[in-house]
Chains A and B, each alone.
Chain A
Amino acid sequence: MQKTVFLGTLAAAVGTAGFALADAHEGSTLAQVQERGSLNCGVTTGVPGFAEPDADGVWQGFDVAVCRAVAAAVLGDPNAVTFVPTTGKTRFTALASGEIDMLARNTTWTFSRDTDLSFDFVGVNYYDGQGFMVPADLGVSSATELDGATVCIQTGTTTELNLADFFRVNGMSYEPVPIETGAEAVQQYLAGACDVYTTDRSALAAQRAGFEDPDASVILPEVVSKEPLGPLVRHGDNEWGDIVRWTLNALISAEELGITQGNVEEMAASAGDNPEINRILGTEGDLAAMVGLEADAFKNAIAAVGNYGEVFDTNIGESTAIGLARGLNAQYTDGGLIYSPPFR
């Protein structure tokens, strides 16, 4: 009896796994999204400025804007997005299983994720680096003084590995406190259950802005890693990858070329002097058709969320509570790294 029960259980377990695997891959992602009429986009469970529901329950943020831009390009409606909150641990499974069509969840582009995990990063929408936040009254001014400290860390992220490397290379010890989500980690940090909270500096700034007393915490100067954050899709459906990649590039090019949410309709009304603007907005050539979209796809994306600079400024820029400077994320023409290949 025991054996048969065991076999039955095994069958059920294998069955569940099988269904999950079987569901995912029928037809191209583009066809699925169009048929469904909405885009399933994986985001964080809540990082202010990057992805968080506002008071009305509408998702807002820097990463959310990428989802909305893709939805606008593919479906013509920036609100045709089903946001799927994912944790650091569940995000890759959600994408690999087909539960979400794309992941825009400040995820670091790394070699093994791009290759071994079978995903494709379509670009970088935020150049970040890992930093440390400590209470000001701890009297620490450099991360190299943290020998023996208790460090809260979001588990299942590259920050976990960077942290281990940083302390090992500097010959220091620490007590890791692994936490499932950023919000819980902040709770633990605020309660004093850990002395240090480490994650990407953008997220540190974002969360610090939400503290009751932001000045009681300081972000240490050290940047211990390169964290190029960008949206990603499943490896294998290159057409879909192209769509997401060029939607992001359209937002970036729009800023470079001076297309804004305000003037996009006007510019798209008729072909102008600048052929690249014309190609992006679909008034010249048929670039959008090459990736299977309507001619006005990229125009819709820009009209929905604005250009890259506008997205940055409204969600995480210096005028917001999060107050991030453009820094590395300025256009290459302004000394930053944000650079789109030409629309040609």
Chain B
Amino acid sequence: MGIRGATPMATTTEQAPDAGGGFRLSQLWYDTRYRSYTFQLIALVLLILAFAWLINNAFNNPVLQEAGISFEFLGAPAGYDINQQPIPYTSQDTHLRATVIGAINTLIVAFLACVTATVFGVIAGVLRLSKNWIVSKLMAVYVEMFRNIPVLIWILIIFTVAANVFPAMADFRIPRDGSDPTRTPVLGMFAFTNQGVFIPRLTFDGQGWLFLAIFAASVLGVFGWRRYARNELYSKGREVPVWWPSLLILFVPVIVAQFALGQPVGLENPEMGRFRFDGGFLLRPSLIALWFALSIYTGAFIAENVRAGILAVSKGQTEAAAALGLRPGRIMSLVVLPQALRVIIPPLISQYLNITKNTSLAIAVGYMDLTGTLGGITLNQTGRALECILLLMAFYLSFSLAISAIMNVYNRSVALKER
């Protein structure tokens, strides 16, 4: 660390002793131009020695010598089942595939939590600055309560609550005497049970791809319309409505397509089987607990970032905007937030990284993320601890660096452009 940090010092030293004299050994110690290099060299040598000692230790370890380092276990059948499978998987697939599933599950919950944490954070951050006493105090309570209790506790609380507060799955089962079950899904579509939340699933038949293509075109169309509206406003000063045409563009073509193509898109409702619902889509308690806990916990931190960002925009900006006749909502969205973003984004990146790393707490509730598959069951069944941990570090490191890279691109786009 010292190597780079100290370099500028060496170049900015003022005292250059005798110009004519050659280099003397004592200068390494007494001359500020060289002293920093001396220290850096000593630090470097110590660091290398420490590394060498540790690696030597590791290689002389009897257990490690016995087993050696090998990644061949990744090709062997995993032998265990995984409940949440974003890609098909059976217990006969390899450890590698199980690892990939774990990685995808990590990314799924990280993505979901980042999105909802941002939503919670922005809402709470803005509302905490509200002039309404109750609203601002409520948000203060939210922030202080959630960010000051460890996230693991929140995960466990939500998991336990989900298991004990949601109706028992037994209530939804058809009793053996054939009478009606105690409970039925809400609207026949949503079943909140202590074994998870069952929701309908979209199904696509043969022409589903055409439907998806039309939907994608509609989304592009909405962006096109918004661009058109902005151009009209900027170039001619004409205000073109945005909201209802957007809705029309988004929904009319797909509804027409749905009927014209003979209903290619269907809704599969959860149906009660012998033990639980078949069909539909299952949000498992472990996912819900992890997602929700990470969202509210990190949301509290983001709320503070947002508040700081907004307070960083000088009051004069708000007053100037008000003097121009902008309504409060527009002042926030057009004047304050764009400037506040510059302050908000950098700490937001570290919150996203925190979420991604905190997903490894999934282990507490049995969510099958990367730590659960590779760092949990695979490690334990194969005993390849060193290899698994190295892989685990590599995965999390690359996830985090990728998120940083993407967010930094975004940060550059909102940063103050100095010309």
Contacts and interface: CB of A to CB of B under 8 A. Distances in A.
Contacts of B63: 21, 24-25, 96, 118, 234, 236
B363 interface: yes
Contacts of B54: 14-15, 17-19, 22
A156 B78 CA distance: 12
Contact of A93 (B58, B66, B162, B385): B385
A14 B390 CA distance: 10
A195 B377 contact: no
Nearest to B156: A184
Contacts of B83: 175-178
A177 B83 CA distance: 7
Contacts of B419: none
A134 B372 CA distance: 26
B363 A180 contact: yes
A322 B393 CA distance: 44
A11 B51 contact: yes
Contacts, number: 156
B3 A21 contact: no
B118 interface: no
Contacts of A180: 363-364, 366
B366 A11 contact: no
Interface residues of A, number: 60
B169 A192 contact: yes
A288 B169 CA distance: 59
A194 interface: yes
A165 interface: yes
Contacts of A164: 79-81, 91
Interface stretch (A30-38, A65-73, A147-155, A256-264): A147-155
Interface stretch (A1-9, A238-246, A291-299, A330-338): A1-9
Nearest to A236: B62
A117 B91 CA distance: 21
A116 B383 contact: yes
Contacts of A55: none
A226 interface: no
Interface string B39-82: 00000000100110111011001111011000000000001111
Given A21-B57, A160-B80, A191 B376 contact: no
In this complex, the member of A113, A195, A235 whose beta carbon has the largest number of chain B beta carbons within 10 angstroms is A195
Interface string B1-24: 101110000000000000000000
A193 B1 contact: no
B99 interface: no
> Do most interface residues of chain B lie in helix, strand or loop, or is the interface mixed?
helix
Contact of A18 (B55, B170, B381): B55
A148 B274 contact: yes
B222 interface: no
A161 B381 contact: yes
Contacts of A163: 81
Interface in B343-384: 363-364, 366, 368, 372, 376-377, 379-383
Interface string A174-218: 111111100000011001111100000000000000000000000
Interface string A75-100: 00000000000001100110010000
Contact of A148 (B275, B379, B380, B385): B275
Nearest to A96: B63
A13 interface: yes
Given A18-B54, A155-B377, A161-B79, A13 B385 contact: no
Closest 10 CB pairs of A and B: A18-B54, A156-B380, A164-B91, A117-B383, A178-B366, A193-B163, A22-B57, A192-B168, A191-B163, A21-B61
Given A118-B66, A156-B380, 11 more contacts: A25-B62, A89-B376, A92-B380, A93-B385, A138-B170, A148-B274, A149-B275, A161-B79, A163-B81, A176-B80, A176-B82
Interface of A: 1, 4-5, 8, 11, 13-15, 17-19, 21-22, 24-25, 88-89, 92-93, 96, 112-113, 116-118, 135, 137-139, 146-150, 155-156, 160-161, 163-165, 167-168, 174-180, 187-188, 191-195, 234-236
24 contacts: A11-B47, A11-B51, A14-B51, A21-B61, A22-B58, A25-B63, A89-B379, A92-B380, A116-B67, A116-B383, A118-B383, A138-B170, A150-B169, A150-B275, A160-B80, A161-B79, A161-B91, A164-B80, A168-B92, A178-B368, A178-B372, A192-B168, A193-B194, A236-B62
